[in-house]
Amino acid sequence: MEKVVREEVTDDAFAVADVGSIIRQHKQWVDNLPMVEPFYAVKCNPDPVILQTMVRMGTGFDCASKGEIDAVLALGVDPSRIIYANPCKAASQIRYAGQVGVRMMTFDNADELHKVKRYHPNPQMVLRIITDDSKSVCKFGVKFGAHLENTLNLLQVAKDIGVDIIGVSFHVGSGCMDAASFADAIYRARRVFNEGIQLGFNMRLLDIGGGFPGADAGHGINFHQIVAQLRPAIEEHFPASSGVRIISEPGRYYVSAAYTLAVTVHARRVVRPAADPINGAPESFMYYVNEGLYSAFNCVYYDHYDPKLQVLLKDGVFLHGRQDVMDKAAQFPCSVWGPTCDSMDVITKNGKLPELNVGDWLYVDAMGAYTVAAASTFNGFSRCQIIWTNTEAESLLV
């Protein structure tokens, strides 16, 4: 990163991504949740390097479309390592899943069962149930998940039309602020498991979804707090003796901390207070950078992310990690804007930074999840370059 900004190799935004961070996250998962198989959520970040790393680590894959299935199968992954975790699929994509051998699929309504019956020769269906996601930033229950009062009816429909049900899935929502939500969801899943068993289904799969944080933001819950709730709940309701296979769909957990995004200040405006400033109000600044809401910072709008902009290079001095220097620098009110012509393209309206000049650089940590995956080329601006590194170069996984 220092080499790029010091030598003025480019003034385009770029991200440095670390395979080693992903490897360490996987080790932490295996150490703390050995009974849960991770199926990486491809939608979070489908970069080929990430997918290849997941293949080497032996994870499964949570896919939500034909395109994601294709990307995973192209790496030689067996279809049995894929769950098509989209409860509402187009008929053509159900047919395609059947053609390539992807059998595990989620559903939450009767129409989906009838579609699957018609277009897939041998599906293994997983009933997605609604959970209490009231304490999550992104609530998925408004769109997906069968209510508990309707699950028995759906299972009966599957029984009547001859569609195999193998288990239950749920998602507590992204940005979950209460680890107890996971334990409550496990309890709900057990109830639906029992309904399926009563109808004669061989209920053998539990999918506990995603919602696992990927970087410690200093607020909310962390991975270990979730583990402390999950493990006792799993041991009580789905012990190893039950023979139930337990999987999960982590995305953000694996890749959020792996990316650091660097942007350059290519323009600025000085906003001076009125001629007679009230209480001596200080001047403020409007900074224009080369990445915005139409690119990697789409997470501000779609993922409710509040990026912490930090100074990378100022007046030729490399300041990454130099919080001691930044703490002594005078801070000024500022807003930071993306490069497009849209006035909605604002990264932060009420920030505070040292006074910056054109050519200075900023950086943001934890930019690997739901960022570059949804970036566009609106206004003709290109997506940022990804520079890969590996801080676990000696790992056998590489």
Catalytic residues: 341
Q: Are 146 and 154 in contact (CB under 8 A)?
A: yes
Q: Which residues pair with 245 in a beta bridge?
A: 205
Three-class SS of residue 43? helix
Structural tokens at position 309: 């902009």
Spatial CA neighbour of 15 closest among 392, 397, 364:
364
Name the CA dihedral angle for 28, 32, 34, 39, rounded to a multiple of 10 degrees.
-50
Q: Which residues pair with 260 in a beta bridge?
A: 16
Please name the helix (run of DSSP H) or strand (run of DSSP E) that holds residue 233, with its range, or none.
helix 223-237
How many Cβ atoms are within 10 Å of 279's Cβ, its own excluded?
A: 6
Q: Letter for the amino acid at 107?
A: F
Q: Are 3 and 376 in contact (CB under 8 A)?
A: no
Q: Are 323 and 301 in contact (CB under 8 A)?
A: no
Structural tokens at position 241: 């003796």
Q: In angstroms, rounded to a whole number, what is the distance separating the alpha carbons of residues 398 and 20?
A: 9
Q: Are 177 and 137 in contact (CB under 8 A)?
A: yes
Q: In angstroms, rounded to a whole number, what is the distance separating the alpha carbons of residues 107 and 100?
A: 19
Three-class SS of residue 4? helix
